[in-house]
Amino acid sequence: MILAIEAASAGALADLVVAYLDIGAAERQEILETIDIVSRMNKVARYLAQRLEVLRISHEIGRQTKASLDERQRRAILREQMAAIQRELGEGDGKAPEIAELSEAIGKAAMPAEVEEIARKELRRYERMPEAAAEAGMARTYLDWLIEMPWAPPEEPAIDLKEARRILDEDHFGLEKIKRRIVEYLAVRKLAPKGKAPILCFVGPPGVGKTSLGQSIARAMGRAFVRVSLGGLHDEAEIRGHRRTYVGAMPGNIVQAIRKAKARNCVMMLDEIDKMGRGVQGDPSAAMLEVLDPEQNATFRDNYLGVPFDLSRIAFIATANMLDSIPGPLLDRMEIIGLASYTESEKLQIALRYLLRRQREANGVNEAQVTFDEDALRAIIRDYTREAGVRNLEREIGRVLRYAAVLVAEGGVETVHITCDKLTKILGQPRYESEVAMRTSVPGVATGLAWTPVGGDILFIEATLTPGAGRLILTGQLGDVMRESAQAALSIVKNRAASLGIDGARFEKNDIHIHVPAGATPKDGPSAGVAMFTALVSLLTDRTVRGDTAMTGEISLRGLVLPVGGIKEKVVAAAAAGLGRVMLPARNRRDYDDIPIEARDRLEFIWLERVDDAIAAALSAAT
C-alpha cells in the first residue's frame, strides 16, 4: 500500500510523518520539541531509515521461508512422482540397491528352505515399506538377525586327545577324575560327532575352576567359546526372546550367544544355572528344559526369530554352586560332575604354577624382581585365607606383589624376597587360627563338620545346664531340621541315661541349652546329630571330647548313625583345621575313594554304626 502525503511546509510534513511512524511517545515528544526544521527533519529521516531497514529484513526473511517451504513441497511431490513411476516400471522404490544386497545375503546364508522362504517374504514386505515408516527399521533388524545367524552345517574340527590332555594339565592342577571324564566326553565326540552329547554340569564351591574348565574344553575341541550368565534371570523372555510385536524386542540370550560365537557348534557355558529366579514374567528354568534336551533342541524356536534353530550341535556346559535350587526336571537333563575344595598342598601347587605368574604380570614385576618362599605361600593359605577355591589366595598374593612393586619402583631395591616374617607387615596379623583345642577343653563342646556352598567347615556344638524345668533351649539361628536333630539327640540321651551313668533327675531340675556359634549365620541339616549327642553326653557325664576329633552323621531314635552328604568337603576341612581324627557314618564308606589322598594320609577314620561307637571313640576317660 502506498500512502500519499501532502503538507504545506517542511515542519508540517515532519509532524505528519511522525504521526504514522511506529515509535514511542518519548520519541514523538522529542521531535515536537525540536524547533530547528533541519534538525527535526534529520531525526524524522533517521527513524524512517530504521523502519525501512526493519521492513526490508522482514521481507527478506519471509521470502526465504517461502522459498524453503516451496522447495520442500516440490521435493515431496517429485519423490511421490518418482515412486509412482518406479512402481509402474516394476523397479520398486529407491531401496533397490539395498534390497538386492539383502537378497544376495539371504542366498549366501545357507538357510533351511523353510527359513529362507520366511526371510524372502519379510524382504518383500520390507521392500514395499516407505523408508520413513516405523516398521521399516524393525523389519531390517529382523532380516539382519536372520542373515547373521550361522545356519550352515558346522565343520567338526578334529579332536586330538593327547593335545586335549596337555591343555587340561596346562590350565588346571589336580582334578584327575574331572579331567578323565572330560577326555571321555571328547573321545565320544570324536568317534560319534553326530551323536547326542550329554550336558555336563560342574558343581562346586566358588573359585575351584568351573568356568575355566569350560574354556579348556573349548580349546581342546577347537571350538568357539561363549558364556551366558544365568544368575538372577527371572524372565522367560531372556531365554526364548521377545515377540517382534513389542518395541525394542530382541532375541533371547541363547540366540544372542550363538550369533556372537558365529558358530552353530560352539561350546556354550551356562554359568550359575542354580541362581535363576522366577517372576511374574515366567520361569526361565522351564524355558531351559527345551534348550538342554537333546531330543527337543534340534528345533528350538526363539520368539523373536520365529523359526526353528538347531541347538543339537552345541556343547552345553553348566556350572552351579549347589544343586538344591535347580528344579528336578532340569537337573535330570544334566550329568553332574562335582568339584570339591582344594587341599592345602593343591592350593600351594596352584599358586606356584598359575597364580604367581598371573599376578606378576598384572602388577608389572617379573620373577627376578620378586621371589616367594614356599613357606610364605603356605602361611598365606593357612593364616590369611579360608576358602574352598583360590580366589582370595590370588588376591592376597596380589597384595604382597603390589607391596614389592612399590619397593622396586622407588628404586630402593632391585630384588624383593618374600618370607614368612614379612607377611605380618604386609598383610597384617593372621586372620585365622585353629581354635579346636581351646573350644573342646571343657565338657559339653563337640566339634562337628558342616557343608556350605563354599566348601566344608568346622562347626562347634556347645551345650550347658542351667537351673530350670527341663526345657530344651536352642540358639544359633538353627533351621527346623537341625532343631529336630537336637531334640532327637536329647531323647536318645534320656533313654540311655542309666547306661551312660547320668542321673535322670538332672533333666527335670535343669534346662539344657544347646548353642551353635556364629549365630548370625543360618544353619540347617541333619548331619550335626552325632555332634549334638556327643556334646550332651560330654556335658552330663563331665567328660571332655577329644580335641583332635571331629564328627558328622545323622542319628535316629534307635541310636543308628545314618549317612550324610558332603563327606569329601567335610574331611578336607578337618584336615585343613589340623585335626587328627574324623568320625563318619559307616554307610559313607562308599565316599572314601573321593577323599583326596593327602587328607586320607593325615587323618584317622573312625566309622560309626551306632551312637555308642561315637561315645567310645570321642570322649576322654572318666575321672
Q: Which CATH class is domain 161-337?
A: alpha beta
pLDDT number for residue 561: 93
The angle subtended at Cα 591 by Cα 589 and Cα 594, nearest 5°, is 135
| CA distance linking residue 362 with residue 404, whole number of Å | 13
**Mean pLDDT within 595-606:** 87
Task: Count Cβ atoms below 10 Å from residue 52 Cβ, excluding itself.
Answer: 10
Task: Count Cβ atoms below 10 Å from residue 244 Cβ, excluding itself.
Answer: 18
SS (H, E, C) 553-567: CEECCCCEEECCCCH
Q: Which CATH class is domain 436-618?
A: alpha beta
| pLDDT greater than 90 at residue 587 | yes
pLDDT number for residue 526: 85
What's the whole-number average pLDDT of the chain? 82
Percent of the chain with pLDDT over 90: 9
User: How many helical (H) and strand (E) elements, i.e. helices and strands, does the chain have?
Assistant: 26, 18
**Mean pLDDT within 471-489:** 89
* Tens-digit pLDDT profile for residues 211-263: 888 888 888 888 889 998 888 888 888 888 888 877 778 888 888 888 888 88
| pLDDT greater than 60 at residue 92 | no
- Say if CB 119 and CB 111 are below 8 A apart: yes
Grid coordinates in use for 249? 524386542
SS (H, E, C) 408-425: HHCCCCCCEEECHHHHHH
Q: Which CATH class is domain 1-91?
A: mainly alpha
CA 460 to chain centre: 32
| CA distance linking residue 450 with residue 407, whole number of Å | 43
Confidence of residue 68 (pLDDT cuts 50, 70, 90): low
Amino acid, res. 488 = A
| CA distance linking residue 268 with residue 199, whole number of Å | 11
| pLDDT greater than 50 at residue 1 | no
pLDDT number for residue 521: 67
Who has greater pLDDT, 291 or 609? 609
| CA distance linking residue 232 with residue 277, whole number of Å | 6
* Tens-digit pLDDT profile for residues 341-385: 777 778 888 888 888 888 888 888 888 888 888 888 888 888 888
- Say if CB 540 and CB 464 are below 8 A apart: no
- Using DSSP's 3-state secondary structure scheme, residue 522 falls into coil
- Using DSSP's 3-state secondary structure scheme, residue 148 falls into helix
Grid coordinates in use for 275? 541362581
Question: Could you say which of 285, 312, 527, 538 is catalytic?
Answer: 527
Confidence of residue 622 (pLDDT cuts 50, 70, 90): low
- Using DSSP's 3-state secondary structure scheme, residue 309 falls into strand
| CA distance linking residue 286 with residue 319, whole number of Å | 17
CA 56 to chain centre: 69
Tell me if residue 570 is catalytic.
yes
Grid coordinates in use for 321? 554352586
Tell me if residue 620 is catalytic.
no
**Mean pLDDT within 471-482:** 88
| pLDDT greater than 70 at residue 85 | no
Confidence of residue 105 (pLDDT cuts 50, 70, 90): confident
| pLDDT greater than 60 at residue 2 | no
Confidence of residue 128 (pLDDT cuts 50, 70, 90): confident
Alpha-carbon torsion 338, 341, 345, 351, what sign?
A: positive
pLDDT number for residue 275: 85
| pLDDT greater than 50 at residue 292 | yes
* Tens-digit pLDDT profile for residues 493-523: 999 888 888 888 888 888 999 998 876 567 7
| CA distance linking residue 492 with residue 340, whole number of Å | 34
Q: Where in the chain is the domain with CATH 1.10.8.60?
A: 344-427
**Mean pLDDT within 96-100:** 76
Cα–Cα nearest to 119, from 142, 94, 135: 142
| pLDDT greater than 70 at residue 97 | yes
| pLDDT greater than 80 at residue 132 | no
| CA distance linking residue 239 with residue 242, whole number of Å | 9
CATH fold for domain 344-427? Helicase, Ruva Protein; domain 3 (1.10.8)
The angle subtended at Cα 437 by Cα 435 and Cα 439, nearest 5°, is 65
Q: Beta partners for 301?
A: 308
pLDDT number for residue 434: 58
| CA distance linking residue 290 with residue 295, whole number of Å | 8
| CA distance linking residue 291 with residue 275, whole number of Å | 17
- Strand 445-452 to 455-467 pairing: antiparallel
pLDDT number for residue 530: 92
Q: Where in the chain is the domain with CATH 3.40.50.300?
A: 161-337
